Structure 1
């Protein structure tokens, strides 16, 4: 039996007019015994349900919510979990519900605002996959040409529509190539600034990838660079890697290698589920010790090879054999099983790796949390030294830019 029941109908006895031609059903709401407000939508559709404590916590009045900062400003020390509803009223003028609380506070919620925050599974799924983060598309080696997206540098820099398409390609397919960039060392900074700003690391803001005497990083040699992700030794790992090809090797080598780490993880999960669980649950010690210019560093981060987010989706791949520490701080019995699982992951990755060679003016950009990348060996000559310029941008900045452009597009439609 309901502890209390509210049901409000509007317009039932009002004459039909040109102001309300679409109302076939009337706005109403009720309160269940479990203190859940059930809203019947005027034009049909599934009822919307909201816990009363959530409605009280999210009151949009000027006393509770600061509109300029989009911030809650009331009840921030403690939430009144015992808040009770005295009555619910509706408005046919602005299609909204007004709640009178027993603590003498009043809250008004528009139907559009409530619909956007409905707790129904389909709406939660929509928000996670469309607003929070676009759903990624897994791809195998055989699908590489179908998922490859290319963009013109000039278009990315001048058209928000193309900028959005480029950023979405990085979120969904995990990589793209920008063509016809100018021959100067500022290209990666221009692209990073177009999104937001560069992520500074112990290697600086922009970094050069070319062979160096007494190299202090494995990437600065002409030897093969195994499949890896950059900076697994960072808790806040760089989000995307922007690599601008200034000079490409004229030797047979210097080709990029790449595999979709999320696809490899999913393949492992389906075909070798026990090995998958080991790589999800076993923390690995990643490290980077050295000096670059005047910067000395000793970075350590412990994390599994395959990391999932709170929704169970793939979030981050940690793989870099050159930066895997000889310290392995797990129980002895976990070591040999981890090596078996890791070996299978690497085997699958190389089987699915594609290779391609960028040309001067190409910018290869990829999701560093997802894509395994590497390079074939090459040979410099006095007249030809392979030279790339790189930079990183964090995913927080990229997702923010995607949402901003989408929001502007929605307003302009």
Structure 2
């Protein structure tokens, strides 16, 4: 209801007084009277740029143990980046029911959910038995999915290979920053091209988006990584940046492949893996079906809605611990 252009930028505080409840009453030079809690001013003090805002508590509902456990699950995903639920019923669309505990499923060009199963003429390499190198899904979107859920529906014992691979790319990037500061700066400045151009499908797709591999905030902290070599298009940058980019790109790719932090696991029927698609790279080893079936069912959740759910439950349950960065380019 306020026209901000009408506020005089030279406005000054004329009088200040403190209330019994530790609120400041401010008398401004335009006769406006405002009230600001001292806690608010301490929380957002400019002299503490590296501090993480502490969550306020609206009310406590910690007596409901189900919500407490649910929040613990969400905060584990938020902190570790990946979590596996065991013994989840292998019924169709169970994965979307789990996702909807957090928020409505994020629909994509692959629908509300998708089945990762080897097919004769796949429209995506994921639907084959080939090795999948480390990547993030749908990075050619302006807002790629934040969380990915993969539910192991079937993994026959005769299937050889097919182990899942996971890697915390934030960890790799921080080490890369220390070892190759110049190349790190290049990858945070020069935009890569990510694309999905596929007309030979039921619903043709033509998506192109440019963004750096490493996204930083105003404090030079990593807030998001973009990595999907199989969906990179022609570089479209200034000529003087081309060689700098590819030199940095090659070193970063080697850091990923040679990382000692790679996790390898073989999912079992009933395993449901949920991970931060902006932070955790995933892939898989090549597999041979030997007449069997390897079937995963997946879906996505919006990163902002996940973050909102963690904030809301933290406040409702009286939890004081700030949530961790979740890779959605947010500066908090």
The normalised TM-score by structure 1 is: 0.69
* 1:249–1:378 contact (8 Å) kept in structure 2: no
Q: Deviations over 1:259-309 (max 9, x none)?
A: 111111111111122222222222111111225863221111111222223
Q: Does residue 215 in structure 1 map to residue 143 in structure 2? A: no
Shift in Å, 1:369: 0.8
Matches within 5 A, 1:76-155: 76-92=4-20, 94-121=21-48, 125-127=51-53, 131=55
Residue 224 (structure 1) aligns with: 131
Q: Provide the rounded CA distance (Å) in 2 between the counterparts of 1:96 and 1:306.
A: 41
Residue 92 (structure 2) aligns with: 185
Query: Runs (4+) of structure 1 moved beyond 6 Å?
Result: none
Q: Provide the rounded CA distance (Å) in 2 between the counterparts of 1:206 and 1:119.
A: 44
Matches within 5 A, 1:14-413: 73-92=1-20, 94-121=21-48, 125-127=51-53, 131=55, 159-250=66-157, 251-290=159-198, 294-325=202-233, 327-352=234-259, 353-382=262-291, 384-410=292-318
C-alpha change, 1:90 and 1:391, in structure 2 (3 Å) is same
* 2:154–2:296 contact (8 Å) kept in structure 1: yes
Q: Provide the rounded CA distance (Å) in 1 between the counterparts of 2:242 and 2:217.
A: 24
Q: Provide the rounded CA distance (Å) in 2 between the counterparts of 1:106 and 1:275.
A: 52
Q: Provide the rounded CA distance (Å) in 2 between the counterparts of 1:380 and 1:175.
A: 27
Q: Provide the rounded CA distance (Å) in 2 between the counterparts of 1:276 and 1:86.
A: 48
| Gaps in structure 2 of 5+ consecutive residues | 57-64, 321-332
* 2:117–2:127 contact (8 Å) kept in structure 1: yes
Shift in Å, 1:381: 4.2
Residue 53 (structure 1) aligns with: none
Shift in Å, 1:347: 1.7
Question: Quick one: higher RCO (CA 8 Å, sep 6+), 1 or 2?
Answer: 2
Number of equivalent positions: 309
Shift in Å, 1:333: 4.1
C-alpha change, 1:204 and 1:112, in structure 2 (3 Å) is same
* 1:189–1:391 contact (8 Å) kept in structure 2: yes
Residue 61 (structure 2) aligns with: none
Q: Provide the rounded CA distance (Å) in 2 between the counterparts of 1:171 and 1:334.
A: 35
Q: Provide the rounded CA distance (Å) in 2 between the counterparts of 1:364 and 1:292.
A: 31
C-alpha change, 1:219 and 1:119, in structure 2 (3 Å) is same
C-alpha change, 1:84 and 1:348, in structure 2 (3 Å) is closer
C-alpha change, 1:309 and 1:295, in structure 2 (3 Å) is farther
Residue 325 (structure 2) aligns with: none
Residue 62 (structure 2) aligns with: none
Q: Provide the rounded CA distance (Å) in 1 between the counterparts of 2:304 and 2:131.
A: 32
Matched residue of 2:288: which SS? coil
Matched residue of 1:388: which SS? strand
Shift in Å, 1:374: 0.5
